[in-house]
Structure 1
């Protein structure tokens, strides 16, 4: 008998003893694929079922043998194994593990009774939990003709939540343990020149990634779907092929909302595994390209500022370190104040050597990038292209002190372009930055007021003091104030 809660609607029907036709008419419509299972139960029926509860069941193996669903040999193996402690099961698996794997696979393939399917999945899950290396048993030569993936892939798509979760975790462990191709033999027992129809690893990985993404988009279980998906992805994304599948499935964006400060143990683990996935994806250029279009960096920085859990800080810092040299991430990091955050982190008493090394590398990398980002050539290119934004150099005093004389090049070409931007640009950020840069020139150049006056800048900037955008008005006012005060008093004005 099953320990799981029966379907309430079925229970009521049994008490009323209605005729079969009436019972069929009143049977609830199947809930799969909208949210149900292979066995006629809603997926949530067994949502809270635990492995321990399932393993307390007594499965009628003798009846299955009598009905020729399992063989006599299977029954003997099950009698030795079932309801035995690990101290007895361990030696059995060491001695004849592949035979037990074959028994489990045959049951999942031939028996559809829900209680039994759940029970066998719980047995396999427990077997692998005690010793993950047992996943290699599925690749024993004696199982070369078995389709070791299909039973789990099928149940992953059709079972209730307990069945789905166990199938997903087991399949993840098994496929991650597959051996490399040797002597013409590929995983799942299929010879490289074989025409058999065994499920390919590519099909399994594609099916897994699709299912995991679907759980992140529309969780089957309100509390367990996302943690389960992230736990499996943190293993699967170690493979380059899976990273490609994940990007193709538009899965990267599903991770970003999960990157936020955590407090409970469960949420900390979810955050850790999410950030671990980001770290794994940081080795794949297509994923990095997508990440650059998201708010991943502000979220990572927010996490590292507020987290005290060493493993979380480590994986975030290592992710940031990997992203430092890619795209525009370096400028983002500096804008977000990461150099100061790294200094604060280095002052803390961490024990993880990988974290300490990553912090040192990140500190050096940020310093190098700050120099590059503050170079006059980069600034000049930005101005000439009219692509002004609040990159670090604009508010870096050392940049203005070191480069103020460079503004004299080509008869103050940079200033004249800034004035053109002020006159013609419709971009409020560009207008605000242009006004600010002009005010910085007024502050740092000894003849700033004379040069700017020759450009007839006063009236042109004053027009922006009535601009509808507050940031533009603020920086236009600052520029005009410095124009009137001159360099001697300009430094007293707040920026």
Structure 2
């Protein structure tokens, strides 16, 4: 197992901290640090990595005691980090040293984690008033907890610490500082590698998940109308062949380390590297069946995901979007296939199929998605497609809306099936949507339904639709005004008919 290099903001802080001199001998004379601890620190303080590694490997327990105290937790001996809790420069230095040793010596992570509770004091540092300390502490905790999560069973200290760390990361992910956002999402990717951590993250609700899906929505909204370019670029792609590896560190290491290039590029106004980390995090979440079933239902993820698939600036973005869609299909087909079909994913994938990709996993996912969507489309009637569209709220001029035969065959069914469920859906769309196309299509459908099933027209009064379409006759959009006027005319046609 290997550790990843710390994120940019952590690396910068560590470099600054390590450049400052500390008067170790003076601290030793005043009994703040004992002779053995001073010896350990001086032995590695200014050494280059290649010379420091064998020294640390020769006394892993000694260097672990500096941070977590007695690794066995039996003597109650506190580590230097906890004993010097009021000395900011000491805390900063020891945290920086611990992060560096974790990066250089993987066995050091194992030794720290062998402590009966390696996280408790580090967790308190997430609330420290000195700004660098929570940042570096979160990175060290991410390293330790993600390593612990790679075990077959999640231990109690990890179970207790994980939600607190997730909450801290959620806080910094909403920061306006891009370095803090990067730190949060990179940490998410390392932590979401096993079923327990993914379920914990998901159960914490909107506080966690909305931070990821909002980034996808923002990037997609800024990318509408764009087309996929530069899809031949190699490297930095999430592979479904490492699906089982989402609980193993090597795959995540490969994902993150290969995405370092092109950090100044933006997709729809979102930094490309940040977007990539976010998508990888969502990809990891989508391995859980429960999450795959609810991602689109709760967060309307499929439309922006398909927009990104259509407009990806780099192959790695296209690749991970396709990997997420593959998981949504394979883990929860009945939930996600209708929404994917409605989002016009099938013709997009058909177009992508004509391009040449060198990544065999990308090609395999493309084939999986195409096959599933083509098979599902064959099972759909026009009514099924229409009902899926209305339930989604993403209305557009798909064929049923303009097809007179469709309305003659299905209007009464639309009004009556499931106690008027689709009537309620149309009412909700007219009431809540601010998209002009959606409002125009919904008003059109109401007008046609009143015309085809006039005896049910009073149903529309009950859901306040008649008043709403009358209001929309004054809308700023000419198509909305036109379709609303036609609907009102149908209502008025029967106004004196009882």
* TM-score, normalized by the shorter chain, greater than 0.5: yes
Deviation at 1:389, TM superposition (A): 7.1
Is 1:296 matched up with 2:301?
yes
SS in 2 for 1:293: helix
RMSD: 4.4
Q: Which residue of the other structure, out of 127, 134, 155, is the alignment partner of 1:157?
A: 127
1:167-192 deviations in Å (ceiling 9; x for gaps): 1111011111127779xx985xxxxx
Please say if residues 17 and 92 of structure 2, whose CA atoms lie closer than 8 Å, have aligned partners that are also in contact: yes
Is 1:223 matched up with 2:230?
no
Is 1:334 matched up with 2:291?
no
1:389-445 deviations in Å (ceiling 9; x for gaps): 778996279x989xx7x99xxxx7645556999xx9984656634767999xxxxxx
SS in 2 for 1:135: helix
Tell me what 1:119 maps to: 93
How many corresponding residue pairs? 384
Pairing 1:259-408 to 2, within 5 Å after superposition: 259=216, 260=219, 264-265=263-264, 267-284=271-288, 285-286=290-291, 288-324=293-329, 325-326=332-333, 328-372=335-379, 374-375=380-381, 378=384, 395=399
Please say if residues 57 and 108 of structure 2, whose CA atoms lie closer than 8 Å, have aligned partners that are also in contact: no
Please say if residues 432 and 476 of structure 1, whose CA atoms lie closer than 8 Å, have aligned partners that are also in contact: no
Cα distance between partner residues in 1 of 2:312 and 2:409: 47
Q: Which residue of the other structure, out of 56, 73, 81, is the alignment partner of 1:93?
A: 56
Cα distance between partner residues in 1 of 2:308 and 2:385: 31
SS in 2 for 1:242: helix
Please say if residues 60 and 111 of structure 2, whose CA atoms lie closer than 8 Å, have aligned partners that are also in contact: yes
Cα distance between partner residues in 1 of 2:198 and 2:31: 44
Check 1:299–1:388 CA distance in 2 against 1; reply closer, same or farther (3 A cut): closer
Please say if residues 122 and 166 of structure 1, whose CA atoms lie closer than 8 Å, have aligned partners that are also in contact: yes
Please say if residues 152 and 171 of structure 1, whose CA atoms lie closer than 8 Å, have aligned partners that are also in contact: yes
Deviation at 1:158, TM superposition (A): 1.3
Tell me what 2:193 maps to: 238
Tell me what 1:139 maps to: 113
Is 1:173 matched up with 2:148?
no
Deviation at 1:304, TM superposition (A): 2.0
SS in 2 for 1:50: helix
Q: Which runs of 5+ in 2 are unaligned?
A: 1-8, 69-78, 224-261, 266-270, 431-440, 456-465, 490-498
Check 1:138–1:297 CA distance in 2 against 1; reply closer, same or farther (3 A cut): same
Cα distance between partner residues in 1 of 2:311 and 2:15: 37
Please say if residues 216 and 226 of structure 1, whose CA atoms lie closer than 8 Å, have aligned partners that are also in contact: yes
Deviation at 1:274, TM superposition (A): 0.5
Tell me what 1:129 maps to: 103
Check 1:83–1:157 CA distance in 2 against 1; reply closer, same or farther (3 A cut): same
Please say if residues 339 and 388 of structure 2, whose CA atoms lie closer than 8 Å, have aligned partners that are also in contact: no
Q: Which has the larger radius of gyration?
A: 1
TM-score normalized by structure 1?
Answer: 0.65
Check 1:436–1:275 CA distance in 2 against 1; reply closer, same or farther (3 A cut): farther
Pairing 1:438-477 to 2, within 5 Å after superposition: 468=473, 470=479, 473-474=482-483
Please say if residues 157 and 164 of structure 1, whose CA atoms lie closer than 8 Å, have aligned partners that are also in contact: yes
Deviation at 1:246, TM superposition (A): 2.3
Cα distance between partner residues in 1 of 2:392 and 2:276: 37
Check 1:394–1:79 CA distance in 2 against 1; reply closer, same or farther (3 A cut): closer
Cα distance between partner residues in 2 of 1:233 and 1:350: 29
Cα distance between partner residues in 1 of 2:178 and 2:392: 45
Check 1:302–1:72 CA distance in 2 against 1; reply closer, same or farther (3 A cut): same
Q: Which runs of 5+ in 1 are unaligned?
A: 1-45, 188-198, 440-451, 456-462, 481-495
Deviation at 1:476, TM superposition (A): 9.5
Cα distance between partner residues in 2 of 1:303 and 1:237: 22
Q: Which residue of the other structure, out of 170, 176, 179, is the alignment partner of 1:213?
A: 170
Deviation at 1:272, TM superposition (A): 0.9
1:339-389 deviations in Å (ceiling 9; x for gaps): 2222333333433222221111111122122223x3267369889xx9797
Tell me what 1:64 maps to: 27
Please say if residues 388 and 433 of structure 1, whose CA atoms lie closer than 8 Å, have aligned partners that are also in contact: no
Cα distance between partner residues in 2 of 1:151 and 1:377: 60
Cα distance between partner residues in 2 of 1:67 and 1:477: 88
Cα distance between partner residues in 2 of 1:419 and 1:103: 71
Tell me what 1:432 maps to: 444
